[in-house]
């Protein structure tokens, strides 16, 4: 469902990107898994997620609007995102869910609570591995298996610059175009768009909801 | 994908949003799609908001504004006239969408996204055990794309080593022979946004396998992203990270399975699944 492994990040970057997702395995823990995945998302709301999704079918918090008209554009204003309650209501079996946090303490609190809930679903954290290990004694959750990102190889000249790459890899499925990220960077620099607005536009292309708008805002402001 | 020329107003917004850079403004000042570069990811169709403005009045207004040195500029994520159109895809072009549109589940694994499970459910499936490594080679991301003919070269080179291709994987499902790693010939000229090859290795042979991959991908017109999945010991530690760092890899970021999964279905359902 996600592809959050190769987000462009270094250990000394601000620790503002933690993706948590849950998955079921058919025949093993998929009975009643939809309700459990809903509970997973409902619980996450206490910890200020910056993005969330209940599977990629209907899309995450940030979604395109397919029926705009001049009234909606210039009078009512555009919808920035859909409410989490709608996402939870739309979820369909077997039930998978994803949340993005921008603070380590939120991730820690969430993991602690999810452990206590004992949903029986597989829970994965995509983040800096040291951070996950460091909080393990407090959360009571230790790594079971790890998929390490080993970086890019091949014709690296084809990769964009660091700032663009940091933005585009926030959607692991590569749906945010280099050109679009560059356009957003330029428009923010030109003060034709706020970083928040630009991050919201980009987030709408990431159908899995793994796009971290908070981190994107920091990058758009010129941070690493 | 294609652009409906009877609707397009030529604003150019779709040009920037295409991850493959396949959309351009043609000689008629309207958008066009380069079919060879388009990987059918649907980012333009699904990701853009639409306003459904009529073409002729909008173009007239646009030209009028341009005459007065003013600009018609919709929000950058809007197609003002809903001109992006999906095509019905036939085999083998269909494979482009299956591998590029994350909302399309892979028939071979039933999973959306890139269709791979890696160690995301290893706590209940035991796919990777202690001492084993699950190597993932993701071809073509981000936004660079890859032809299956290039994937085929790496698969065949790896087949000559001791790797064991993961059978529940969308790329393995396209192999005509898993022993040789050869992909079906009818898909070789198809381009996708990205695809992930998974295989098991003996951790002791990791440097040998990585060298084979590096030698092969150096000759390709694409980028690959590597990942190594391992099973931790009972304390959540692993000896592989230091080994990776000795080999010059920066193993900072990872997807960590927290081990909270457990079999919860009643036993008969589990037995049925195994059968």
Residue B272: predicted pLDDT: 61
Residue B274: predicted pLDDT: 56
Residue B111: predicted pLDDT: 73
Q: Are A165 and B240 in contact (CB under 8 A)?
A: no
Instruction: From chain A, pick out residues whose CB is under 8 angstroms from the CB of B119.
Output: 145-147
pLDDT at B176 over 90: yes
Is A183 inside a domain boundary? Answer: yes
Give the distance, in angstroms, between the CA of residue A186 and the centroid of all CA atoms in the same chain: 23
What residue in A sits closest to B129 (Cα-Cα)? A145
* Average pLDDT score over residue span A81-98: 93
Residue A80: predicted pLDDT: 84
Tokens coding A174: 């590569």
Residue of B42, B47, B232 to mutate, interface with A, max A Cβ within 10 Å: B47
Peptide bond into B142 cis (omega under 30): yes
Is A2 inside a domain boundary? Answer: no
Is A75 inside a domain boundary? Answer: yes
Give the three-state DSSP class for A210: coil
Residue B9: predicted pLDDT: 94
Q: What is the DSSP string of A63-110?
A: ---SS--HHIIIII-------HHHHHHH--TT--EEEEES-HHHHHHH
Q: Which helix (H) or strand (E) holds A70?
A: helix A70-71
Residue of A81, A146, A210, A215 to mutate, interface with B, max B Cβ within 10 Å: A146
Q: Which residue has the tokens 């993932």?
A: B136
Euclidean distance between the first and the last CA atom of chain B, given in angstroms as a whole number = 41
Per-residue model confidence as pLDDT tens digits over A148-191: 999 899 999 999 999 999 999 999 899 999 999 999 999 999 99
Give the three-state DSSP class for B232: coil
Per-residue model confidence as pLDDT tens digits over B225-268: 999 999 999 889 998 999 898 888 888 899 999 999 999 998 76
Instruction: From chain A, pick out residues whose CB is under 8 angstroms from the CB of B15.
Output: 179
Is A7 inside a domain boundary? Answer: no
Give the phi and the psi of residue B16 in degrees, each rounded to 5.
Answer: -75, -30
CATH class, B2-85 region: alpha beta
Residue B269: predicted pLDDT: 56
Chain pair A-B, CB pairs under 8 angstroms: 338
> How is chain B split into domains, by residue range?
2-85, 114-274
Peptide bond into B52 cis (omega under 30): no
Percent of chain A with pLDDT over 90: 83
Instruction: From chain B, pick out residues whose CB is under 8 angstroms from the CB of A107.
Output: none
The C-alpha angle A141, A138, A143, rounded to 5 degrees, equals 25
Band (B273; pLDDT cuts 50, 70, 90): low
Is A23 inside a domain boundary? Answer: yes
Q: Are B78 and B50 in contact (CB under 8 A)?
A: yes
Among A18-27, A155-164, A197-206, B244-253, name the one with the lowest average pLDDT.
B244-253
User: Do residue B227 and residue A148 have CB atoms under 8 angstroms apart?
Assistant: yes
Calculate how close chain B gets to A178, using CA atoms only, in Å. 7
Q: Which helix (H) or strand (E) holds A196?
A: helix A195-203
pLDDT at B107 over 80: no
Do the strands A145-154 and A122-128 form a parallel or antiparallel pair, or are they unpaired? unpaired
Band (B184; pLDDT cuts 50, 70, 90): very high
pLDDT at A53 over 60: yes
Half-sphere exposure of B122 (CA within 13 A, CB side): 25
Is A9 inside a domain boundary? Answer: no
User: Do residue A123 and residue B260 have CB atoms under 8 angstroms apart?
Assistant: yes
Per-residue model confidence as pLDDT tens digits over B213-231: 999 999 999 999 999 999 9
Per-residue model confidence as pLDDT tens digits over A110-146: 999 999 999 999 999 999 999 999 999 999 999 999 9
Is A174 inside a domain boundary? Answer: yes
Is A11 inside a domain boundary? Answer: no
* Average pLDDT score over residue span B130-148: 90
Per-residue model confidence as pLDDT tens digits over B204-215: 888 899 999 999
Band (B73; pLDDT cuts 50, 70, 90): confident
* Average pLDDT score over residue span A6-12: 82
What residue in B sits closest to A178 (Cα-Cα)? B19
Residue of A62, A148, A181, A194 to mutate, interface with B, max B Cβ within 10 Å: A148
Instruction: From chain A, pick out residues whose CB is under 8 angstroms from the CB of B194.
Output: 173-174
Q: Which helix (H) or strand (E) holds B271?
A: helix B267-274
In chain A, the number of structural domains is: 1
Percent of chain B with pLDDT over 70: 97
Q: Alpha-carbon distance A213 to A197, whole Å?
A: 10
* Confidence (pTM): 0.94
Residue A1: predicted pLDDT: 46
Residue A69: give the domain boundaries. 18-220
User: Do residue A141 and residue B274 have CB atoms under 8 angstroms apart?
Assistant: no
Q: Alpha-carbon distance B48 to B42, whole Å?
A: 10
Whole-angstrom CA distances from A125 to B88, B91, B255 are: 37, 37, 6
- Partner residue opposite A123 with nearest CB, options B213, B258, B272: B258
Average pLDDT along chain A:
93
Band (A3; pLDDT cuts 50, 70, 90): confident
Q: Alpha-carbon distance B108 to B167, whole Å?
A: 9
Band (A7; pLDDT cuts 50, 70, 90): confident
């Amino acid at each position: 469902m996600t592809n959050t492994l190769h987000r462009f990040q270094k250990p000394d970057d601000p620790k503002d990107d933690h993706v948590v997702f849950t998955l079921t395995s058919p025949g093993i823990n998929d009975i009643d898994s939809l309700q459990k995945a809903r509970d997973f998302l409902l619980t996450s709301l206490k910890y200020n997620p910056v993005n969330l999704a209940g599977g990629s079918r209907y899309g995450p918090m940030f979604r395109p609007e397919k029926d705009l008209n001049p009234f909606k554009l210039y009078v009512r204003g555009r919808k920035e995102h859909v409410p989490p309650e709608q996402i939870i209501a739309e979820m369909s079996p077997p039930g998978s869910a994803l949340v993005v946090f921008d603070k380590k303490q939120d991730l820690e609190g969430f993991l602690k609570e999810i452990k206590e809930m004992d949903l029986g679903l597989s829970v994965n954290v995509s983040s800096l591995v040291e951070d996950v290990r460091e909080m393990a004694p407090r959360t009571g959750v230790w790594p079971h298996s790890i998929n390490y990102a080993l970086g890019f190889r091949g014709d690296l000249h084809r990769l964009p610059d660091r700032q663009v790459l940091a933005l585009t890899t926030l959607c692991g499925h590569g749906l945010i175009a280099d050109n679009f990220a560059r356009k957003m960077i330029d428009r923010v620099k030109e003060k034709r768009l706020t970083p928040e607005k630009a991050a919201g536009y980009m987030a709408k292309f990431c159908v899995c909801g793994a796009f971290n708008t908070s981190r994107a805002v920091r990058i758009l402001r010129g941070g690493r | 994908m294609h652009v409906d020329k009877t609707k397009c107003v030529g604003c150019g917004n779709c040009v920037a949003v295409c991850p493959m850079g396949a959309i351009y403004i043609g000689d008629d000042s309207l958008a066009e799609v380069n079919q060879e570069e388009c990987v059918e990811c649907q980012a333009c169709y699904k990701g853009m908001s639409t306003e459904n403005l009529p073409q002729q009045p909008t173009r007239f207004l646009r030209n009028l504004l341009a005459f007065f040195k003013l600009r018609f500029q919709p929000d950058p994520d809007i197609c003002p006239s809903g001109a992006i159109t999906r095509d019905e895809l036939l085999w083998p072009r269909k494979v482009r969408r299956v591998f590029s549109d994350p909302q399309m589940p892979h028939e071979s694994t039933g999973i959306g996204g890139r269709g791979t499970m890696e160690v995301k459910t290893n706590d209940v499936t035991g796919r990777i055990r202690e001492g084993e490594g699950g190597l993932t080679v993701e071809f073509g991301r981000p936004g660079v794309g890859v032809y299956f003919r290039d994937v085929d070269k790496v698969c065949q080179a790896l087949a000559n080593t001791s790797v064991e291709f993961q059978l529940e994987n969308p790329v393995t499902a396209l192999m005509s022979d898993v022993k040789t790693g050869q992909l079906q010939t009818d898909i070789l000229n198809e381009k996708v946004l990205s695809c992930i090859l998974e295989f098991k290795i003996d951790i002791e042979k990791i440097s040998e396998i990585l060298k084979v991959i590096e030698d092969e991908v150096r000759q390709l017109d694409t980028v690959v992203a590597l990942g190594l999945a391992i099973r931790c010991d009972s304390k959540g530690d692993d000896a592989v990270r230091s080994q990776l760092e000795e080999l010059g890899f920066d193993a900072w970021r990872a997807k960590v399975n927290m081990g909270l999964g457990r079999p919860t279905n009643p036993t008969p359902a589990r037995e049925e699944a195994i059968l």
